[in-house]
Amino acid sequence: MSSIPSKSPFLTLRWYTFFIYGTMVIFTSFFQLYLQDIGMSQSEIGALMAIGPFVSLFANPFWGYLGDRMQNVRFVLLTMMIGTLVLVQIVFNVENYTLIYIVMTCFFFFQTPMFAQSSTLILNYIDGTPYKFGGFRLYGSLGWALTAVVAGPVIDQLGVPRIGIVFTALLLVAILLMLVLPPQERLSGGAAPINWTTLKQIGSNLYFIGFIILGVLVAIPNMMNSTFLSLYVIELGGSKSMVGWAVFASSIFEAVLFLLFDRFLRKKVSFMIGWLAIVSLLFTFRWLLMAEAVSPIQVIFIQLLHAVTFGGYFYVGTQLTMMFVPNAFRSTGQALYTMTWSGVSGVIAGFLGGWLFQNFGSEQMYLAGVALSLVGSIGFALMWLNVRRTGYQLPDEEG
């Protein structure tokens, strides 16, 4: 029996990743312009966008638990995508603020865990094959970047109220690609039961807890930037096309970074934690530059740092989670990582960022990000020193 897997399912998986990331960049980068178009202020937009991360605190564990119990992440993702597709048709046809909040709460329940479960889907498909995670996540970066740069002028032509049409078209393609994917093999031995004992086992790893807490500090300014970038570009005199170029610049070089990580990253806990300390320091520098920006062109160039900062953190964080958490709880571990990186931090970022932006201006919002990222960098540096001094044993090697 050949040990070389058929390329067809993996090609489909790559294109699924391309289109699901392309779909989500429409929502992440342009939806705020729609909200501003219907009359919402920065603080109101921040509060509405904070619902997503708040809902994800419950949605990520729910879908992660379901994926582990069913051992069928593909079916779980299909359910999430269909729910998102149905609800987005309502979101863009409701103008009453109260109804928007209600519908968006339901929308976020299906949409927010999609990236975490897509990562789990990729990891499960490539398990035991020569394929690397970065080669698939690369397609996500390309989908994010290319869709953003094309969507800017398209939305300029169609008008902001028709953003939902672009979102729907891309999501339908992603659903069709998911339907083409073959069923996954179940993990040997099945999933371990997820209960308080399981969570206690995961939470007993103090390095994992430290990684999560410091990650929240670093993620808050990143989430503030994601939420308010489009409004910041417009405030500096940019167009919707410039918003697209800013998002393009943030993602296009992620592809190269993931390939380099696949080839050269040392799969050693101390090395990865040291990398997170460096990335957090680069985040600090990035937010300082954003605070000093005076034109949308400057913002576009500063966004090039996103590949090394967010891309570096995302890749290493995903790999570290796999090393910190036993294999039987892989889906739950990734859900917890995403829940804190984009959940807890996103709630804080929405309210804090909106309040700072509206009352003190964009410069103070980014300077707050400088302080938070610097604290995170110092924390990871201290963790790196401790791991270097005491060593670290993988959980599946214990006992």
Q: Tokens standing for 174?
A: 């992603």
* pLDDT tens for each residue of 97-126: 888 889 999 999 999 888 888 888 888 888
More confident residue, 257 or 45: 45
On average, the pLDDT of the chain sits at 84
User: Which residues touch 57 (CB under 8 Å, ≥6 apart)?
Assistant: 339, 343, 344, 347
What number of other Cβ atoms are within 10 A of residue 58's Cβ?
A: 15
Choose among 178, 150, 160: nearest CA to 22: 150
* pLDDT tens for each residue of 184-226: 665 444 444 455 665 666 666 778 888 989 999 999 999 999 8
Question: Whole-prediction pTM value?
Answer: 0.76
Q: Tokens standing for 165?
A: 């049409």
